[in-house]
Amino acid sequence: MPKQLEIRLGAAGDALDRFEAAWHRVNEGRAMRPLEVLSFPDLPSLLRTLSVARWQLLRRLSEEGPLSIYELAKRLERDYKNVHTDVTQLAALRLIERREDGKVTVPWELLRAELLL
């Protein structure tokens, strides 16, 4: 199974519901399945955070593998400072990882969004 991150819209209480469900599964002796979730309170927040430019940045890193921020900015034909800001924001959300060699990479093979109305 590919390493995946689920992106969801919902209130902070949703995380508590997931924790409670996992707790019950363990108490019942059922297997735990690892689940990585990134939640946003609403669609405007998600779209502000994952702008078109940031999505392109994630795609480029996913396709080309680890790159320095300088090299990434060059390949995206974007200003270094703006790419650095985007990388910092995406790393804070765990969408990007910084490696010890200074390069950044996308640790996920799949980003799966769940948008309930």
Domain range summary for the chain, segments of one domain joined by +: 4-114
Fold of 4-114: Arc Repressor Mutant, subunit A (1.10.10)
pTM score: 0.76
Q: What percent of the chain has pLDDT over 70?
A: 79
Low-confidence ranges of the chain (pLDDT < 70): 1-2, 11-26, 31-35, 116-117
What is the β-pairing status of strands 97-98 and 104-105? antiparallel
Q: If we measure between CA atoms, which residue out of 62, 60, 48 comes closest to residue 93?
A: 48
Which residues lie closer than 8 Å to 29 by C-beta, 6 or more apart? Answer: none
Q: If we measure between CA atoms, which residue out of 94, 103, 102 comes closest to residue 3?
A: 94
Q: What is the pLDDT of residue 33?
A: 61
